[in-house]
Amino acid sequence: MPKLIAMQPKRLGAIAAATIMLAAFGGAEALAASPRATENKMILVARQDPGTLDYVTSNLTALRLWIPSNVVEPLVYFEKDGTVTPGVAESWTISDDRLTYVFTIREAKFSNGAPLTVEDVIYSLNTMKSSPVLQNSAAYNAVTAIEKVDDRTVKVTLSRPSQAFWAGMGSTAGLIQPEAAAGSIATDPIGTGPYKLVKYTTNSAFEFTANPEYWGPAPAIKDVTVRIVTDGTAGLNALEAGEVDAIPVNTIDLWEQLVKREFDKKFTLVTDPQIGEPTYAVINQKIDPELRQAIAGTLDRQAYNDAFGAAWGAENTCTFALPNQPWYQPENAESCPYPYDLEGAMKTILEKGFNTLPLEYASLSDVPDLSLPADIMVPTLQAAGLNVTRNAIDLARYSQLIFQGRPPQFDITVMSGDAEPGQWSCPTPDKAGWSTYCSADYTDALAQADVATSDEEYLALMQKAADILRKDAVIVPLIAKKGVGLFDVDLKGFTEPKVAVAVELRALHW
């Protein structure tokens, strides 16, 4: 005992010293600012490489996260509170009958130093009007003329009022590019945005720097690098090691790991529906409607949600939408015409003889957040008595088979992507979306919504369209996933995207 008592002060001293050291070094590590903060830079992580930066012909999320809004601006911006603020157009007037839009173009320069002209605006709008991307061209369905009024004014005339046109002018359909640089859009898009693209290296990185010609206040962070790290775990490791400052979009397959490794405590976790995605099954429209409904009845949404172990960021739904869209509804008896009922589905399959029909499930093998649902769906369909085989293919073959396959080259698949209801409209069968889904009723409902003259009318018609989509059991939503971002605690200013899903780089600051 005396020895123990005699040693206690020393031990206490050692413990105290160790505690101070730990606090000093541990605390310093926890509080250490990113080295990029002092250099006014930041490094972000992207999970996917878009392959092309041509936003006219491609609507890949991997592209739309970075180029719109940051490099190329639309005519106007729609703010979160519903107000409309100037973009490339510094002012505008809309006729009372909503058939004539007159935009006054600001005196500004593109990031390559060329002056912004009315001719560039007319060229850009006409280019988007003929874009192969339906979300872009659909905004111009009612447009009959795009004309120059004077050197700073453009007039757009519509044949009927169109919600889609006005919404499009604040989205990718309204992006303005210089006609002279259109040839290099796939690798070096030019715009009037706060940043200019310095370099894009395929499968490696985007490098941005503040655009010296930008008409607005300069962004807080001058140089931004977006590293393309396809391995999600490697991206998280890089963030933990301080090699990067943020991962603005984390796919659902990482959410459970993210929480288990306490990234939500060590970094700023932001959740935002707008950069989220619905996950949905697509059933070939040619399949008997009763079989489609039976297949829809085998889908246990809670199982899909639980499989990702991240119920905090995903909600079960039967509506093709995200929670920030007013016609969205979570899974409930009213919004789900074909709720999970495996026994009922099995009975129908057996009674109607659907069990003898060979079905092919096209499965994307190299995208974890889509292969996991397939791992649940295929055995469940087989357990329900269906003769389903799984055709596992990579993204390149999937694009060829699913997006370009005419007639449809699959029976069932699962997808995750934009919550844009217009992508399923088909004014003519040849305009059908990638799944070749085409419903006259649904298209009509969307067309009626497009000419709505009030927000209430628009919402009611969009709800009607969503209902048609649900009952058709071709596009069968499973879960609505929020966008989940991780940011260095000192990197602040994340705001919801203004242009589609674009990460607003200009708003971020140390």
Report the length, in residues, of the chain: 510
Least separation in angstroms between residue 448's CB and another protein is 41
Distance of CA 22 to the CA centre of its chain: 42
Least separation in angstroms between residue 435's CB and another protein is 21
Q: In 149-180, which positions are buried (b, 16+ CB within 10 angstroms) versus exposed (e)?
A: eeebbbbbebeebbbbbbebbbbbbbbbbbbe
Q: Which of 56/384 has CB closer to another protein?
A: 384
CB distance 43 to 225 below 8 Å? yes
d(CA 8, CA 2): 10
Distance of CA 417 to the CA centre of its chain: 6
Q: Which of 125/244 has CB closer to another protein?
A: 244
Q: Which of 97/306 has CB closer to another protein?
A: 306
3-state secondary structure of 326: coil
The two tokens of residue 60 are 């890949």
The residues of the shown chain that bind another protein, judged by CB under 8 A, are: 231-233, 236, 253-254, 256-257, 260-261, 303, 306-307, 309, 363, 365-366, 368, 372, 374-376, 378-380, 383, 390-394, 396-397
Least separation in angstroms between residue 42's CB and another protein is 24
Q: Which of 374/502 has CB closer to another protein?
A: 374
Least separation in angstroms between residue 231's CB and another protein is 8
Least separation in angstroms between residue 307's CB and another protein is 6
Q: Which of 236/412 has CB closer to another protein?
A: 236
Burial of 250 (0-12, 13-18, 19+ CB in 10 A): buried
Distance of CA 62 to the CA centre of its chain: 8
Q: Which of 283/374 has CB closer to another protein?
A: 374
Q: Which of 104/257 has CB closer to another protein?
A: 257
Write phi, then psi, for 369 (nearest 5 degrees).
-75, -5
CB distance 196 to 71 below 8 Å? yes
DSSP letter assigned to residue 79: -
Q: Which of 378/438 has CB closer to another protein?
A: 378
Least separation in angstroms between residue 306's CB and another protein is 5
Least separation in angstroms between residue 236's CB and another protein is 7
Least separation in angstroms between residue 281's CB and another protein is 16
d(CA 423, CA 481): 19
Burial of 435 (0-12, 13-18, 19+ CB in 10 A): buried
Q: Which of 277/472 has CB closer to another protein?
A: 277
d(CA 15, CA 3): 18
3-state secondary structure of 357: coil
Least separation in angstroms between residue 474's CB and another protein is 25
The two tokens of residue 18 are 């160790």
**Around 154, how many Cα atoms within 13 Å sit in the side-chain half-sphere?**
24
